[in-house]
Amino acid sequence: MSDVKWGMVVDVDKCSGCQACVIACMAENNIPINLDRDYTENRSIAWIRIERYWEGEYPDVKARFLPVLCQHCGNAPCEPVCPVYATFHNDQGMNIQVYNRCVGTRYCANNCPYHARYFNYRRPTWPETYNNYLNPDVTVRDRGIMEKCSFCVQRINAATRIAKREGNEDAIAGLQTACAQACPTDALVFGNLNNANSEVSQLYDDERSYVLQESIGTQPNIRYLKKIDEHAAEKAHAH
Amino acid sequence: MADNKDIMGVFADTDTAAEGARQLKSAGFVQDDYDVLTGNPYPEGAFGEHVKPNRLFVFALAGGFVGFAIAFLFTAATQTAFPLVTGGKPILAIPAMMIIMYEMTLLFAMIFTVTGVIFESRLPRPSGAGPVYDTRITLGYIGLIVTTSEDRLEKAEEALKAAGAEDIVRESS
Amino acid sequence: MQNTDGNEAVIPGAPATQEILTQELLHDSLQTGSRMRKALLISGVLSILGFVGLFMHFASGTSDHTTWNFYAVIYFYVFSVTMGIPMAGIGLRMARAQWRRPTSRSAELFAIAGPINLIFFIPILLVAPPIEGRNSLWMDWALAPWFPDIIMMVLLVVTGLAFLYVSLLPDLASVRDHGTGRAQSIAATLSRDWNGTKSQWSLHKSALGILGAFYITAYAMTHLVLASDFAMTLVPGWKDPIFPAFHAVTGIQMGAALLIITMYLLRRLGGLGRYFELEQFWGYSRLLLALSLFYFYFWWCAFVLFWYARLPHEQMVIALFISGDYSEASIFTRPQFLMFLGAIGFSFILPFLLLMWNILRRSIVAPTIVGVIVLIGGFFDRMRLYANSWSIDQVGGHGLHHLPEVNAPTIPDLFVLIGMVSSILFLYLLVSRVVGFVSLWETRQALLLRFVKPWGVGHASVVIKPE
Amino acid sequence: MQDRPTLTPTQINDELLWPVFSFRKRHAVAFIPPMILLMGGVAAVTILIYQGLWVTGLQRPAFWGFFIVNFVFWIGVSHAGTMISAILRLTQAEWKRPITRAAEVMTIFSLVTSLLHPVIHAGRPWRIIYWLIPYDFSRGIWPDVRSPLVWDPIAITTYLTGSILFVFTALIPDFALIRDQSTGLRKKIYGRLALGWRGTPRQWKLQGIFGLLMSALILPVFVSVHSIVSWDFAVSVVPAWHVTVYAPYFVIGAVHSGVSMVLTLMALMRWIFKLENYIWEDHFDAVGRLLIVIATLWLFFFFLDFAYSFYTREEQELAVMERRLFEWPFNAITVIMVFTSYVIPIPLWLSRRVRRNIPLMFWTSILVNIGMWLERYFLIIPAIERKNELTFLWSNYVPSLIESLVVLASFGMVGFLLLLFAKVVPLVPAWEAKEGVIFREDVQFGEVTLPGIIKETEEENVW
């Protein structure tokens, strides 16, 4: 499957900040439930988060939403600083996190310009009744480990297996990450960038598309589509 | 010369020791016949002794080369053994390798140097300080050791005595 | 042999006495021979070339700074070297190194090059593009960079001259008393009422200390502002705080190199072999080795960051100063890379490989050769830095868009180089006619502070370190 | 110059070896404060390992905190030993003699202490060994040599090994001394350690050459260690960390704090072990003069870093500088740092009277160390608190009690180890002290007597 290059397009114009993607991601990837304590300590974990910026002065205040997840950079600053290869770049353009190797130096998190990496300060716990709802395809991360958006790698692997078994690419073509699947406004579009007629690769070169913090030259596989709004231009870069 | 014996005169201070050296010379002993034991360094040649040249720098160089080779193999091998791309860097990231090679070069140079010092100063001696030794040396006394054949021991002894040796230590045979 | 070596330490050869010093330094070396006359004449004539070159440059216009790139190269090269030499002398004086005594005069005498540097600095100020829209230390201050830079330059030059004058005073006095002809009259006017009273000497000592410290500070700050105003500012997206330090250190490195060469020439042609002996060359070659290592260290500190972080604008800086255009297949079609090779090869690799051997360090010819190598390397380095950065016409922007075409040097540039060098040489020799190349009072003091006494069977040399 | 007693070898032995042969009250009492600090630290680390990192103040985005700051600080202090012994050895400064060993030993112990920090600060300390030793051997995965965190251990191990060898080799003559002066089991042990040292001219000469050669070898390591530590921060893309001047800036800062720490140590040694005859005002004077130069260099690099953070005028760097200069507590930290590490001590040290006043030197050196600790905090923390453009996640780091206890304990640990070491061998090299006496040659100049030194001829071929 090396001809596959997974990518995503985030249409800031469509995003309504409903947080559905966040919840879907938590359910899919066994992310521990954040208590208020975790938020006050700035230790909450959310592989995809909606950043909310207020614009304008009262009474005409506008809320701007920016979904941020791991950008799966081509030049990922987080990768080379890991002493134990716990994170590296695979041949499908994804930034892989290997939980077993991680020793928790947290250097990758320091070096991630998108704040997309999260550290398990505590051993994750769920209410007793939830234990049976955990996704069997996804590891539960112990304390002391970095974690981040994996582009739902478990789904990708499953789809790849099916595709290989059935000998056609349908499974891969229809593949969705949890967040993209859950997005009611289709603000998140996930797909194979090497497939020219996939929706994502068409939106990818849209004239509205831009890259978060382009000056760092991380060459992400996630692009954003500007808000259609006279303020959008400076907003997208300013914050 | 297996039948050579050691004899040591213990002197209280520098001048008498220097005098002892002169006496030995006049008694026909050459520089290589006698050696000096002191509790701390003295200016070189203070007792007319001379130190054979050492090859310490060779150890340092050899160590450097060894370390460099090891580091190069280690870095090159580990990166190529399981080529994972990180941060879009080349699999053989030369600047990173240089840093490690630099460190290892110096590490091995230092280790070899210390080995060299110990080896070149004829240490370690399993026998300890040796048969002919006097603990007063470390109290600031100076020992003149004469290594010579049985028959000339007497000559050496009176030379040392004449110079005012406080004490004469003989090799117990 | 070793015991006498201690004796050789400061005044080698025949056992020097105060009389010998007086004879050699006060009478012999002040005689102006025919060779000296020739040198003075030639250098004097050639120094006119510099102004000719300057005129030709101005004739071709000051509007486009990219045509002046090699003028900048030459200026900053000569500036770094000549202002760096006194640093070597002053630093060792502060470190109380005994062996430097005979050499400190010939080092500090180079402060005389200050005025020349000042004159040739003016075109740089006129031609250098304004800082509007560029990164700079001055926050778009209207007077910057001209005002602060000229201030720093004047400060440096004046401090250097003042230091030189103070360190000359005692010798001027002795020339006043024993000299002859014009030298005597000049010395008489300059030396004022110096007659070596206790208070004068203590004042002299503290004055040297303060002025020395002041010179070092001025040197560092001048390099800081010049390096950032006339190199870093011109390159969009180049933020490199270590560059000024690198600039200053390479200046001292080249200075030490030129000093070694000067010592060699004085030894050969000036008949001052007694004062520039093995120990002096040994000491300075140690210094040169250390400084060459610093060259690499400071360069590497910048390079490894740019290489590792892979920020686009810093990749362009690497391309501009080190690697050249990656798309060029052959490295020989990349001028930037060739300049870099010359710089690192002659400023670090060769000096390091040669000087790491004590046998070579402890000789007279080898350090001289390395000195020449370092001077060449230094020129390559200044070329790498200034020829490239001055060829850029892009103003502002987050990073450099494309590598500039490097303009080749022209005849006027050559004239300027010859002119600057020979005018400095001219001044140097001229002053040496009054006070000579070796400081009398320092070598005299050296004689007092070192002697040989019998020790045990052999001998040992005793050094006195007065506070 | 006045108080330079002439000592006999016997006297030197007695005055330097008493901590080894007897255990006096003053020595015992000195153990108490470091012990207390150490206890606190042990408790803190136990809780930390058992509970996990949530007991610290670490959060997002400040993933690094007190531990790393302290790590950098102690690595810095460890540079004193080499600075003192290597550089002064190469420049053949006579006054280095009595302080070399103490400084080198402090190097070793502060390195050991600093090495603990990355371990306990990792998420899974029990796995940290994998960091150094390849674990997925079957899959052929080894540590990534591209990571600065792999350069670190290698550099520090090199430095540690070098320092240990340095100290041990210089110790052999004193082992021999103790061997000769003692009896029974102690004689046996020290006899083993002395490797049968006799004190022939060849052995002494090799000692001398070893000093020079080893210094020449360890100096490059000395520079590289702290440079590499600084690159942990500098090679990243965090705006205010990614500064080219960091390497030399950290190194000179390290020397500044380290040499001041040596001052502190000298004063303490002088008081605890009654070394008035060996550590003179002259030594404080000389170290003081050295420190003026070092501190000024440090100030220059500080200025470079500071000035150029405004050079490009990019929002993120300005945000960090705003945090450093105007926001509590960093505004206070910045002021205290500048004052304690330069503005107060240096003008004082300019006067010879202050440099020769030991209590004053002691307290000023303490000041400098406070300042230099804060400097590391000032450099490291704000940059990640204000990291990159996503202001949504900017936050402020507040260290927890556990972390503070560990920081205090690190000081206790170094002190404790030093005192323990003093029980085993003399902190002032006895043979160097004797050498100093032999090589001293007071010279009469008319009315005054000046101290002269019998110069070892630099004949020995170092390379």
User: Tens digit of pLDDT for each residue in C176-228?
Assistant: 888 888 888 898 888 888 888 999 999 999 999 999 999 999 999 999 999 99
For tokens 């090299």, the residue is: D429
For B5-53+140-170, CATH number? 3.30.70.120
The residue-averaged pLDDT of D406-431 equals: 92
pLDDT at C9: 39
Which residues, other chains included, contact D388 with Cβ-Cβ below 8 Å and sequence gap of 6+? Answer: A113, A114, A115, A213, A216, D238, D239, D316
**Banded pLDDT at D431 (limits 50, 70, 90):** confident
CB pairs under 8 A between B and C: 39
- pLDDT digit string, tens, across residues D297-353: 999 999 999 999 998 888 888 999 999 999 988 999 999 999 999 999 999 999 989
Residue A79 has pLDDT above 60, yes or no: yes
C464 bridge partner residues: D452
Report CB contact under 8 Å: C357, D248: no
Contacts of C95 in chain D (CB under 8 A): 91
pLDDT at D137: 62
Classify domain D9-134+147-453 at the CATH topology level: Formate dehydrogenase/DMSO reductase fold (1.20.1630)
pLDDT: which is higher, C422 or B54: C422
H/E element, B134 = none
- Alpha-carbon gap, residue D180 to B128, rounded angstroms: 11
Q: Which residues of A have a CB under 8 Å from any CB of C? A: 75, 77, 80, 215-217
Counting as contact any 3 or more CB pairs under 8 A, the partners of C are A, B, D
- Percent of chain A's residues with pLDDT above 90: 56
Each residue of D398-431: b (16+ CB within 10 Å) or e?
ebbebbebbbbbbbbbbbbbbbebbeebbbbbbb
Residue among B82, B86, B93 minimizing CB distance to A89: B86
Which residues, other chains included, contact C331 with Cβ-Cβ below 8 Å and sequence gap of 6+? Answer: C324, C337, C338
Domain range summary for chain B, segments of one domain joined by +: 5-53+140-170, 56-120
Report CB contact under 8 Å: C304, B44: no
- pLDDT digit string, tens, across residues D195-217: 888 888 888 888 888 888 888 89
Residue C270 has what DSSP assignment? S
pLDDT at C467: 53
- Alpha-carbon gap, residue D321 to D308, rounded angstroms: 11
Counting as contact any 3 or more CB pairs under 8 A, the partners of A are B, C, D
Q: Which structure tokens are listed for C419?
A: 């002119």
Residue C423 has pLDDT above 60, yes or no: yes
- Alpha-carbon gap, residue D365 to D262, rounded angstroms: 9
Residue C445 has pLDDT above 90, yes or no: no
**Banded pLDDT at C455 (limits 50, 70, 90):** low
pLDDT at C12: 40
The per-residue DSSP string of chain A comes to -TT--EEEEEETTT-----HHHHHHHHHTTPPPPPHHHHHTT----SSEEEEEEES-TTS-EEEEEEE-----TT-TTTTT-TT--EEE-TTS-EEE-TTT-----HHHHH-TT---EE--S-----GGGGGGS-TTSPPP-TT-EE---SSHHHHHHHHHHHHHHTSSHHHHT---HHHHH-TT--EEEEETTSTTSHHHHHHT-TTEE-TTGGG----SEEEEPPSSTTHHHHHHH-
Residue of C nearest to D457 (CA): C6
The residue-averaged pLDDT of D366-381 equals: 94
Residue B27 has pLDDT above 90, yes or no: no
Report CB contact under 8 Å: B96, D198: no
> Can you state the angle between helices C365-382 and C69-94, rounded to 10 degrees?
140
Residue among C232, C293, C462 minimizing CB distance to D454: C462
pLDDT at C4: 37
pLDDT at C152: 93
Residue D192 has pLDDT above 70, yes or no: yes
Q: Which of residues 291-310 of C touch B (CB under 8 A)?
A: 303-304, 307-308, 310
**Banded pLDDT at C10 (limits 50, 70, 90):** very low
Cβ–Cβ contact B45 with C under 8 A: yes
In this predicted complex, what is the ipTM?
A: 0.91
The CA distances from residue A114 to A64, A97, D279, D371, in Å, are 17, 16, 55, 33
Counting as contact any 3 or more CB pairs under 8 A, the partners of D are A, B, C
pLDDT at B1: 44
Residue C7 has pLDDT above 50, yes or no: no
Q: Which structure tokens are listed for C40?
A: 């003075």
**Banded pLDDT at C264 (limits 50, 70, 90):** very high
Residue of C nearest to B48 (CA): C457
Residue D384 has pLDDT above 60, yes or no: yes
Mean pLDDT of chain C: 88
Residue among B82, B88, B93 minimizing CB distance to A74: B88
**Banded pLDDT at A187 (limits 50, 70, 90):** very high
Residue of D nearest to C136 (CA): D311
pLDDT at C29: 78
Residue of D nearest to A50 (CA): D392
Cβ–Cβ contact D143 with A under 8 A: yes
**Banded pLDDT at C6 (limits 50, 70, 90):** very low
Contacts of A219 in chain B (CB under 8 A): 88
| Nearest chain B CA: its distance from C401 CA (Å) | 22
- Alpha-carbon gap, residue C373 to C15, rounded angstroms: 35
Contacts of B39 in chain D (CB under 8 A): 9, 177, 199, 431, 434
Domain range summary for chain D, segments of one domain joined by +: 9-134+147-453
Contacts of D191 in chain B (CB under 8 A): 128-129
Residue to test with chain C: of B44, B61, B65, B105, most C Cβ within 10 A: B44
- pLDDT digit string, tens, across residues B35-87: 888 888 887 767 777 777 778 888 999 999 999 999 999 899 888 888 888 88
Cβ–Cβ contact B95 with D under 8 A: no
- Alpha-carbon gap, residue D309 to D303, rounded angstroms: 10
Residue of A nearest to D133 (CA): A84
Report CB contact under 8 Å: C312, A77: no
Residue A172 has pLDDT above 90, yes or no: no
The CA distances from residue A8 to A63, A170, A201, A223, B147, in Å, are 23, 19, 9, 7, 87
Report CB contact under 8 Å: D60, A119: yes
Residue of C nearest to A111 (CA): C309
pLDDT: which is higher, D218 or B126: D218
Residue A229 has pLDDT above 70, yes or no: no
Contacts of A77 in chain C (CB under 8 A): 309-310
- pLDDT digit string, tens, across residues C371-400: 999 999 999 999 999 999 999 988 888 889
Q: Are A191 and A40 in contact (CB under 8 A)?
A: no
Residue A51 has pLDDT above 80, yes or no: yes
| Nearest chain B CA: its distance from C288 CA (Å) | 21
The residue-averaged pLDDT of D52-71 equals: 92
Residue A10 has pLDDT above 90, yes or no: yes
Sheet holding B142-148, edge to edge: B34-37, B142-148, B5-11, B167-170
Contacts of D177 in chain B (CB under 8 A): 39, 138
Report CB contact under 8 Å: A82, B89: no
Mean pLDDT of chain B: 83
Residue B111 C-beta-side C-alpha neighbours within 13 Å: 15
Least confidently predicted of B143-152, D170-179, D290-299: B143-152
Q: Which of residues 129-158 of B touch D (CB under 8 A)?
A: 129-130, 133, 135, 137-140
Least confidently predicted of B28-42, C294-308, C337-351, D263-277: B28-42
H/E element, C446 = helix C440-448
Residue among D63, D122, D147 minimizing CB distance to A80: D147
Residue C8 has pLDDT above 80, yes or no: no
Least confidently predicted of B38-52, B102-116, C258-272, D109-123: B38-52
**List of domains in chain A:** 6-238 (3.30.70.20)
Cβ–Cβ contact B88 with A under 8 A: yes
**Banded pLDDT at D286 (limits 50, 70, 90):** confident
Mean pLDDT of chain D: 88
**Banded pLDDT at C2 (limits 50, 70, 90):** very low
Residue D2 has pLDDT above 50, yes or no: no
The residue-averaged pLDDT of C118-132 equals: 89
CB pairs under 8 A between B and D: 203
Report CB contact under 8 Å: C457, B22: yes
Residue A222 has pLDDT above 70, yes or no: yes
Residue B91 has pLDDT above 70, yes or no: yes
Residue D449 has pLDDT above 80, yes or no: no
Residue C463 has pLDDT above 80, yes or no: no
Contacts of C311 in chain A (CB under 8 A): 215-217
- pLDDT digit string, tens, across residues C25-57: 887 778 888 888 999 999 999 999 999 999 999
Residue A19 has pLDDT above 60, yes or no: yes
Each residue of C16-40: b (16+ CB within 10 Å) or e?
beeeebeebbbeebbeeeeeeeebb
Contacts of C304 in chain B (CB under 8 A): 95, 99
State the SS3 of chain D. Answer: CCCCCCCCHHHHHHHHHHHHHCCCHHHHHHHHHHHHHHHHHHHHHHHHHHHCHHHCCCCCCCCCCHHHHHHHHHHHHCHHHHHHHHHHHHCCCHHHHHHHHHHHHHHHHHHHHHHHHHHHHCCCHHHCHHHHCCCCHHHCCCCCCCCHHHHHHHHHHHHHHHHHHHHHHHHHHHHHHHHHHCCHHHHHHHHHHHCCCCCCHHHHHHHHHHHHHHHHHHHHHHHHHHHHHHHHHHCCCCCCCCCCCHHHHHHHHHHHHHHHHHHHHHHHHHHHCCCCCCCCHHHHHHHHHHHHHHHHHHHHHHHHHHHHCCCCCCHHHHHHHHHHHHCCCHHHHHHHHHHHHHHCHHHHHHCHHHHCCHHHHHHHHHHHHHHHHHHHHHHHHHHHHCCCCCHHHCCCCCCCHHHHHHHHHHHHHHHHHHHHHHHHCCCCCHHHHHHHHHCEEEEEECCEEEEEEEECCCCCCCC
For tokens 């005859």, the residue is: D277
Cβ–Cβ contact B95 with A under 8 A: no
The residue-averaged pLDDT of C12-17 equals: 54
